Structure 1
Amino acid sequence: MTPILIGSFEDFEKHNGQELGSSQYFTITQKQINLFADATFDHQWIHTDPERAKLEGAFGNTIAHGYLTLSIVPHLWEQIVQVTNLKMMINYGIENLRFAQAVTVDSEVRLVAKLKNVANLRGTVKAEVEVKLEIKDQKKPAFTGVLVFLYHFL
């Protein structure tokens, strides 16, 4: 799928209230989980000890940190929308974030996005994007929420 190109408020406005699309599937590996654990100092065994997770864990394997799944959003978002003509972008907030399903190691996930609302705030574009991180072959998503971005176009 080719990303939607956005270069202005008017471009965003054309998609207001519409589904924007989905990213490609992305595999969560044990190496990524371990690197995230090192970066965040969160070495809880359910994430980093495959043998113990298989024996004692509720999921039969290690699971990705919830915040690891959230941290891949920029990579997946760029596969759905590419914003051009940009001076600056600010991650303004996340509303109603819910982690609904654990992501086990080697699962494939993808981001699905809908433009909930877009507003022009005196030259700053505020985009509210409903997202869910789907897990391949699972009914429940890893998480849902509304990402709020501020875009300053040239």
Structure 2
Amino acid sequence: MRVGPAIDEAVGLLEGELRSGRASGAGLGTEDAWLAFLRFGRRPFAVPDVPDADGLLFQYGTHAFDGPATFTLDLTRQFEVCDDDGDHDHYVQVHCELRYAPVPALDALGSFESWFFHDTGDDLDAWARGLTERPAWAVLGALGPAEVRVYREQA
């Protein structure tokens, strides 16, 4: 087991990063949420010592999961949970979901996803930089989300 806070603390820790990332009285912008998510993503957690037990997901697209179609940027941290024998049991995903008002520039982005796993030897800063260097980031970074949701789900 790797050392760090328990997975049960993840939502509160992400919410704390989001609160500390915004200027006093200001709404949370896309860039603020991204930087808060990266701070959260750097924090080690108590996860099993198995491959891909702790991953970050950056994904966006227009979806109609629980109402009208909405463009969503979903920043997710996924933790693997193992049973008492050390075998995979399930995943816990902590989402920071940014939903945007409908504008043609967002619909034109289509959909995209990219994963980062802590145990691969890849560089988190290089992964993050690669995402913000994509042309879509100029569109996302210029807009403020209409809604931000933080939640946990079991997958």
Q: TM-score, normalised by structure 1?
A: 0.29
> Which structure's residues are more often strand, by fraction?
1
Relative contact order higher in (CA < 8 Å, ≥ 6 apart): 1
Larger Rg: 1
Q: Whose helix fraction is larger, Structure 1's or Structure 2's?
A: 2
Instruction: Report the TM-score, using the length of structure 2 for normalisation.
Output: 0.29
